[in-house]
Amino acid sequence: MFDSLRELSDGSKELEGQDELEFEFEEPVEQGPYFLGMNPAQRLILALMIFAVVAVLGTTCLVVTERLWIF
């Protein structure tokens, strides 16, 4: 493999055709403003619902462990 490197660099015919190779570049597909198939209003509602679930679970854990007293 390494024995023929000098012959290749001396202008042999094996490397001449490689200059003409062209690569085809594909343009990246632009995605719309949608993330997970939802528009911004739907994402806001989902974020508020997740926040509410976390807040309720956190409050419940505090009440169960008696770190927070309701009355």
Residue 52 is assigned to a structural domain of this protein: yes
Residue 11 is assigned to a structural domain of this protein: no
> What is the count of structural domains for the chain?
1
Question: Which residues, 6+ apart, have CB-to-CB distance to 11 below 8 Å?
Answer: none
Tell me what pLDDT residue 69 has. Answer: 84
Tell me what pLDDT residue 36 has. Answer: 82
- Position 25 pLDDT exceeds 80: yes
Residue 4 is assigned to a structural domain of this protein: no
Q: Range of 55's domain?
A: 34-61
Mean pLDDT of 44-61: 97
Query: What is the rounded CA–CA span in Å between residue 13 and residue 17?
Result: 8
Residue 13 is assigned to a structural domain of this protein: no
Residue 46 is assigned to a structural domain of this protein: yes
Residue 25 is assigned to a structural domain of this protein: no
Tell me what pLDDT residue 57 has. Answer: 98
Per-residue confidence band for 26, with pLDDT thresholds at 50, 70 and 90: confident
Residue 67 is assigned to a structural domain of this protein: no
The CA angle 12-18-24, to the nearest 5 degrees, is 180
